[in-house]
Amino acid sequence: MAVCLAAMAVVALWAFIRWKYVVPVRMIRRGMELLHAQETNNRLRLTGNPAADRVARLFNVLMERLQEQTVVNRRQNHLMSELIAASPMGVMMMDFDGRITDANAAALKFLDLDAASVTGRFLGDLPSELGTALAAIPVGKTTIRLSETEIYLCRRLEFVDSGFHRPFILIDNMADELRQVEKEAYGKVIRIMAHEVNNTLGGLKSLLELMADSAASDPLMGEALESGAESCTRLGAFVDSYAEVARVPVPEKRPVELDSYLSGLLPFLQSVTLGRAEVVVEPMERGLTVMADGALLERVLVNIVKNASEAMSSGSKGHIRISVAISRGEVTLTISNDGAPIPEGTQYSLFSPFYTTKPGGHGTGLALVAEILGRHAWKYSLSTGPDGLTRFRIRIP
């Protein structure tokens, strides 16, 4: 009997301890497991134990708030991801070691690479001139200029993730914005200049022609007046050459088969050189077609060839070669010449109106070329290579 009473006392004591302490502890442990697993949809069930139920109610309120915050965070992260993906500014994220983890569409376009060629690699290892330049920029804001159409404002920044600084890079293409500002500025100057000069020249030329008719009996005076009228005509043409840069029409793009197009244009391009150079069109893939305004493309090629022929040294006949190459779905049209190299530090200024390195030059030829290529949304560059050849490259999607 005593043994039975003792056993019942032990069972009652264990039941009391279990109810008083074990159940709440198990409730706490279960809640910790759910928190660790981040299972915010689960809730703890009430047991009737006052202490355990207080823990359960507190835990369930906490989980409801965590679930609400998780939904909000997911929405915000999704919105941020969508904004980054659609942003015209390039965004590149790196891990703690500097390897690229993410790059949006704009960044891939600037790098001229696809996601598979970028993810997991260091910037300096990318097969891209921009990637190499980005690897060398310090923390802060930097401008990178690769060509006339590739000018980037880059920011290398950091944020704290898990207690460590994690880098990311923002890339903004400044070329279009700078070109637009420049165009608005020189366009306004050209329009004012052309208006004032042409108004004056029109009246002056009419007066000179009238005086020439009245001075028919004086050959010497008539010759002088005729020379003055011709000078007015030349000055008017000079002013119109500047105005032409500011009023390039919108390209009417149509399929242009490059092989036949360049072959047909070759005799005219040869005549533009005035015998100073030999123009050669290198063999290319037959049937290769690009979308372009043929008339505007002709003006581009004429100005480039004319500019190249004027760089030839006197006394020897130079060579101008036109070639076409295809790479990653892009056509590169290259016009190379063996004339005088481009003076160091002037390759970007050559495309600005009024700027020229040639005596008697107007500074309109390459400015017109830049405007037409910009209207086509084509990238281009002009530089003299280590081999001494000067190359004008036009990249056509």
Express each pLDDT in 42-88 by its tens digit: 777 777 777 777 777 887 788 788 878 777 777 877 777 777 777 88
Q: Tell me which H or E stretch contains 228.
A: helix 219-246
> How do residues 88-100 score in pLDDT, each as one tens digit?
888 898 888 888 8
**Residue that the structure tokens 């400015």 belong to:** 367
Q: Which residue has the higher pLDDT, 158 or 190?
A: 158
Cα separation values, 126 from 141, 154, 351, Å: 21, 17, 30
What percent of the chain clears pLDDT 70, i.e. is strictly above it? 70
Closest CA to 288 of 259, 330, 327: 259
Instruction: With cut-offs at 50, 70 and 90, classify the pLDDT of residue 375.
Output: confident
Count of CB atoms situated within 10 Å of the CB of 327: 9
In this prediction, residue 275 carries a pLDDT of: 85
pLDDT of residue 186: 64
206 vs 62, more confident: 62
Contacts 24+ apart (CB under 8 A), 120-123: 122/98, 123/94, 123/98, 123/169
- In the chain the first and final C-alpha atoms are separated, in Å, by 100
* pLDDT value at 321 more than 90: yes
Mean pLDDT calculated for residue range 327-351: 80
Q: Average of pLDDT values for 212-217?
A: 65
Higher pLDDT, 379 or 218: 379
Q: Is 166 helix (H, G, I), strand (E, B) or coil?
A: strand
Rounded Cα–Cα distance for residues 27 and 46 (Å): 10
Give the pLDDT confidence of 268-284 residue by residue, as tens digits.
Answer: 888 888 888 898 888 88
Contact 118, 130 (CB under 8 A): no
What confidence tier does 348 reach under pLDDT thresholds 50, 70, 90? low
User: Over the chain, what is the mean pLDDT?
Assistant: 78
What mean pLDDT do residues 276-294 have?
88
pLDDT score for 5: 65
Checking if the pLDDT of 245 tops 70, the result is no
pLDDT band at 17; cut points 50, 70, 90: low
Question: What local confidence, expressed as pLDDT, does residue 369 receive?
Answer: 84
pLDDT band at 336 (very low <50, low <70, confident <90, very high): very high
Tokens of 234: 């030349």
pLDDT tens figures, 175-204: 767 666 666 666 666 666 666 666 676 666
The answer to whether the CB of 253 falls within 8 A of the CB of 292 is: yes
What does the CA dihedral 352, 358, 360, 364 come to, rounded to 10 degrees? -20
Residue 28 in 3-state DSSP?
A: helix
Structure confidence at residue 334 (pLDDT): 92
Greater confidence (43 vs 236) lies with: 43
Q: How far is CA 69 from CA 59, 64, 312, in A?
A: 15, 9, 71
Q: Is pLDDT larger for residue 370 or for residue 185?
A: 370
Asked if 300 contacts 382 with a C-beta cutoff of 8 angstroms, the reply is no
Q: Is 225 left (phi over 0), alpha (psi -120 to 50) or beta?
A: alpha
Residue 333 pLDDT: 92
Overall average pLDDT of the 244-273 stretch: 84
Interval 138-161 mean pLDDT: 81
Give the 3-state secondary structure of residue 177.
helix
pLDDT of residue 268: 87
Average pLDDT over residues 365-393: 85
Give the DSSP letter string of 43-101.
Answer: -PPP-S-HHHHHHHHHHHHHHHHHHHHHHHHHHHHHHHHHHHHH-SSEEEEE-TTS-EE
Answer whether residue 126 shows pLDDT above 60.
yes
Helix or strand run (H / E) with residue 160: strand 150-161
Is the pLDDT confidence value at 361 over 60?
Answer: no
For the ranges 21-25, 26-30, 322-326, the one whose mean pLDDT is highest: 322-326
Residue in the structure block whose two tokens are 């005729």: 226
More confident residue, 2 or 130: 130
Q: Give residue 195's identity as a one-letter amino acid code.
A: H
Q: Provide the residue type at 193 as one letter.
A: M
- Average pLDDT of the residues in 224-241: 68
